[in-house]
Amino acid sequence: MPDQDERHDSPESEGSDGEAGSDQKPSKGFSRRQFIKGTGLAVSASVFATEGLLKAAAPDQAGAGVEGPGAVKVQLRINGQLRQLQVEPRVTLLDALRNRLDMTGAKKVCDRASCGACTVILDGRPVYSCTVLAIDAQGKSIETIEGLAPKGTLHPVSQAFVDNDAQQCGFCTPGFVMAVKAYLDKHPHPTADEVKASLNGNLCRCGTYMGVRQAVLEAATKMTRKGGRA
Amino acid sequence: MADLQWPPAANRHLIGKSISRIDGPWKSSGTAKYSYDMNPPGLLYAKMVTSPYAHAKITAIDTSAAEHAPGVHAVHLFTAVGKEVTCEGQEVAAVAADTEEQAEDAARLVRVEYDELPYLVADTDPTHAGAGNFRQNSEETQGNPTQGFQQAEVVSEGEYGLPVITHCCMESHGSVAQWDGDKLNVWLSTQNVSGQGGEYAQGLSNAGINFSASNLHVDCQVMGGGFGSKFSADTWGVAAAVLAKKAGRPVKLMLDRNVELLVAGCRPSMHGKIRVGAKRDGTLVAWESQSWGTGGVRGFGVPPIPYIFDIPNYSRTHANVLTNIGAARAWRAPNHPQMCYLTMTALEDLAAKLGMDPLDFFLKNIALTGERADYYKQELQQAAEMIGWKQKWHPRGDKTPGSIKRGLGLSIHTWGGAGHQGFCRTTIHPDGSVEVATGSQDLGTGTRTVIGIVAAETLGLPLEGVQVEIGDTKYPPDGASGGSSTVGGVTSSTRVAATDALNQLLAKVAPSLGTTPDKLEAAQGQIRVIGDPSKAISWKQACAKMGATPIVAQGQGGSRGPGRALISAGVGGAQMAEVSVDVDTGVVRMEKMVAVQDCGLVIDSKTAESQVFGACIMGTCYALHEEKIMDQQTGTCLNPNMEFYKLGGIDDIGDIVVHFMTDPMYENRGVIGLGEPPVVSPGAAISNAVANAIGVRVPELPMTPDRVLAALGKGGQA
């Protein structure tokens, strides 16, 4: 269950846009997971969800200067490497990765923090990179699927997705893999029910959830070499 | 000589086993490059300008500001002043610029003026449609319906319906286009790699660009879902090529999510008023239905109901309501989920009125399902055993105290699944390596993997002994992936090509083994004498005897090729769902589904099972969540985004158990397509389970809490 020590106060951790793969209760706002669980009864809930999104997307008041609207120099630490680029302040982390750095593992699907296909790990937490500005990701550790395993090898999560056929068209898969990786880093021994309850921030259209559930449990077992919780 | 026919079960080393998809590591490592991921040097990004109106005449277009906006290299018009747009989201113009942000800014500078025209976007009540939008498409009778209803001792009446839903492919529609002189390379997200030449030639010619289809190169190694919506390159596919020509630079044009949901995906709705009658013992005698639905401004086909059950006396009418929404596209098993839902719910309501267990009622009338009656009977009995139907089923209305009610529901379905025509080339190289190539595509179904399995099985090699190449027009053409036709198409063409190649090899090797080719077989990485495994040489040694020129064989697949006996068509399936419904909140949960399916010979049981899992999940989504919500007041779609166009998440799906019918009577039919049939039944099975749980029918899908509460008389329907 949720580890209380995971809570952060940075905007990315407030909930709506940062909850891919985390089962923790947000400290403020409304979590996307709760929102999705309310599928169909979310007429009033949607108002709160939107508020949460706006809050989460608001700039960090402390230390934010006026930037842009023209391109500004941005320095990102991606998979341990410093990358310099010149982008307008409105450019999202996702577009910076895909369009400027040709790192296309994170996918653009909903482009508004609904589906999780763009999930990357920011300072250890899964975030929707379509809803994080590149300039706001400066000074943070950014992990993308390109850095998950040395070239030519598969991370245990990726391997478990192969072995359990947790992918069909595969377009949601890199985001799912990153969400699972971030989740298992914090919850190395999940139960099947915890897995189901904790990965609602990633949507799949082909319907691979049966395989994903198995893959998460199997990856957990292999990564800890102790076996999952009974 | 190697035989074309599939090997008997005892001799299969790969076919039918559980094998991980061969492109899996590529996808789950994030290295697979989709059309959306292609970033050739000098790439421009295109954004579209689309209609905000459901129906309007264009009175003015001014692109001058956009043309002079920073970074812009080309502008394209999809239409012209004086022409009409007939739905919100319809493409009007596209702008290509150095960055995606510049293209967005420039698209906003395109000025389009419209005169609004009358429109219709709602389809739930056909009386709203008016004569201009209401097309009575068919009126049919069989037997004597009047007499039939006189014979009926119990008659059930109801209204049932499903709304328009969309495809919502994770990778939106689009392409990257790049010219190389007269040659056009497109990385197109498509279900029809080999079938694009004519459309590009015509579309480019319309734009004043002289182009020959022989100069088109399509590359689609992976694609992020299609489900029937990506056969055509579409106007935006051609537009990317036109913009690239104008700009002299490659152009990426992928639909924004809202446009994708507005115009690039539509499963037609279907609604119906149904009466159905039976004798007291459950014998079905009469059916009457007036049904209608919408598939946009051009309408769609006529889905005949009752589905599967050929009731001796029926009268049915069907009308298309023409609406100003994005046009219908084939959606996984076109028309079947709608026909199945209207039929199986009406029949289950009748069973309830008869006081019969619907399983007994279906079995009582199973002869009406025709030539596959035995299959359906076996499948229903199999599914019933797996879900514990006899132990768990109760008459309508779970009497358990508390707000959570549980129920069981069932449905049966059918589909064709004949393999399409296509060609495969198998090349055996002197070093023993093997390449199998066809211009097919993998929608996520596992096309590469089944081709590899068939080729390796045929050549007696391990799966990694063959290299599979698809997704490119440089390979022999294959058919479009529609109608569950791919697995039959590619397995038959691959088997034919690989068998031919092998026979050429056997002819070259036979003398060195002191025998004739007809006495040889390929197995376990060897060429050996049948019945005398001691007389064998390794595959590599055998291939070394062919000389410098590789062996090449091309095979034709499908029902007109020499491998026609390898494939077949026509499947059945039965599904049972268990649900829980909270009668205080109206929330429905799919707790468990059992899916029993026949599809002839299964090539890869792992990816086949995934197809059925996926279909049950997709089916649960349209049963409980999905609806394209149209607002007649404004003519707009209220949910063209993924927070309000709802797909279920991992926790919204219960347990799913899949069973394939693989007795020889099924397997001996050969390979039959599987992608579509299992998505047909879930809407009906889940609706029937909800009715069983709460005691009343929720007549419209999706069964959202407001609809469930309305059915229970606990509040107004939104």
Contact B383, B596 (CB under 8 A): yes
Across residues A94-115, what is the average pLDDT?
A: 98
Place of tokens 């007696």: B460
Contact A199 B650 (CB under 8 A): yes
Contact B606 A165 (CB under 8 A): yes
- CATH number, domain at B77? 3.90.1170.50
Residue B319 falls inside a structural domain: no
Residue B509 falls inside a structural domain: yes
Residue B21 falls inside a structural domain: no
Q: Which residues, 6+ apart, have CB-to-CB distance to B401 below 8 Å?
A: none
pLDDT in tens, A200-220: 999 999 999 999 999 999 999
> Phi then psi for B218, rounded to 5 degrees?
-105, 135
By C-alpha distance, which of B56, B44, B136 is closest to B96? B44
| Residue A10 C-alpha, separation from nearest chain B C-alpha, in angstroms | 24
Percent of chain A whose pLDDT exceeds 90? 66
Residue B30 falls inside a structural domain: no
Instruction: Note whether B603 and B555 are same-domain residues.
Output: no
The pLDDT score that the predictor gives to residue B299 is 82
Q: In what order do the strands lie in the sheet with A72-78?
A: A81-87, A72-78, A141-143, A119-122, A125-128
Instruction: Note whether B448 and B387 are same-domain residues.
Output: no
Q: pLDDT grade, residue A225 (50/70/90)?
A: confident
Instruction: Note whether B390 and B460 are same-domain residues.
Output: no
The number of distinct structural domains making up chain B is 3
Instruction: Note whether B108 and B240 are same-domain residues.
Output: yes
Contact B326, B387 (CB under 8 A): no
Place of tokens 């059915």: B711
The pLDDT score that the predictor gives to residue B123 is 86
In angstroms, rounded to a whole number, what is the distance separating the alpha carbons of residues A145 and B96? 29
Is pLDDT at A51 greater than 80 in this prediction?
A: no
DSSP secondary structure code for residue B213 in this structure: G
CA distances, A206 to each of A3, B151, B293, B465, B650 (Å): 32, 46, 26, 29, 12
The pLDDT score that the predictor gives to residue B127 is 73
Contact A168 B256 (CB under 8 A): no
Angle of CA points B637, B642, B647, to nearest 5°: 105
Residue B577 falls inside a structural domain: yes
Instruction: Note whether B347 and B249 are same-domain residues.
Output: no
Q: Which residues, 6+ apart, have CB-to-CB distance to B304 below 8 Å?
A: B138, B140, B316, B318, B339
Total beta-carbon pairs less than 8 A apart between chain A and chain B: 217
ipTM above 0.95, yes or no: yes
In angstroms, rounded to a whole number, what is the distance separating the alpha carbons of residues B571 and B669? 10
Contact A158 B29 (CB under 8 A): yes
| Residue B549 C-alpha, separation from nearest chain A C-alpha, in angstroms | 32
Contact B610 A203 (CB under 8 A): no
Q: pLDDT grade, residue A103 (50/70/90)?
A: very high
Residue B130 falls inside a structural domain: no
Instruction: Note whether B605 and B703 are same-domain residues.
Output: yes
Q: Which residues, 6+ apart, have CB-to-CB distance to B121 below 8 Å?
A: B54, B323, B324, B325, B630, B631, B632, B635, B636, B637
Q: Mean pLDDT in runs of 10 for chain B (718 residues)?
A: 91 97 98 98 98 98 98 98 98 98 98 97 79 85 98 98 98 98 98 98 97 98 98 98 98 98 97 98 98 92 95 97 96 98 98 98 98 97 98 97 98 97 98 98 98 98 98 98 97 98 98 96 96 94 96 97 97 98 98 98 98 98 98 96 97 98 94 98 98 98 97 71
Instruction: Note whether B109 and B222 are same-domain residues.
Output: yes
Query: Hey, where are the domains in chain A?
Result: 9-57, 72-147, 156-224
From B238, B263, B288, the end of a domain falls on B263
Q: pLDDT grade, residue A11 (50/70/90)?
A: very low
Overall residue count recorded for chain A in this entry: 230
Instruction: Note whether B111 and B201 are same-domain residues.
Output: yes
Mean of all residue pLDDT scores within chain A: 79
Instruction: Note whether B495 and B587 are same-domain residues.
Output: no
Residue B518 falls inside a structural domain: yes
| Residue B660 C-alpha, separation from nearest chain A C-alpha, in angstroms | 17
The pLDDT score that the predictor gives to residue B136 is 82
Is pLDDT at A63 greater than 60 in this prediction?
A: no
The pLDDT score that the predictor gives to residue A216 is 98
A156-224: CATH number: 1.10.150.120
In angstroms, rounded to a whole number, what is the distance separating the alpha carbons of residues B126 and B540? 69
Domain that holds residue B173: 35-117+168-263
CA distances, B457 to each of B6, B494, B501, B529 (Å): 10, 11, 13, 17
| Residue A8 C-alpha, separation from nearest chain B C-alpha, in angstroms | 25
From B263, B279, B294, the end of a domain falls on B263
The pLDDT score that the predictor gives to residue B715 is 64
From B263, B282, B304, the end of a domain falls on B263
- CATH number, domain at B401? 3.30.365.10
Residue B143 falls inside a structural domain: no
What dihedral angle (degrees, nearest 10) is formed by the CA atoms of A133, A136, A140, A145?
0
Q: pLDDT grade, residue A8 (50/70/90)?
A: very low
Whether the link from the prior residue into B476 is cis, omega within 30° of 0, is: no
Place of tokens 């300039």: A135
CB < 8 Å to B32, chain A = 170
A72-147: CATH number: 3.10.20.30
Contact B505, B542 (CB under 8 A): yes
In angstroms, rounded to a whole number, what is the distance separating the alpha carbons of residues B581 and B712? 11
Instruction: Note whether B231 and B190 are same-domain residues.
Output: yes
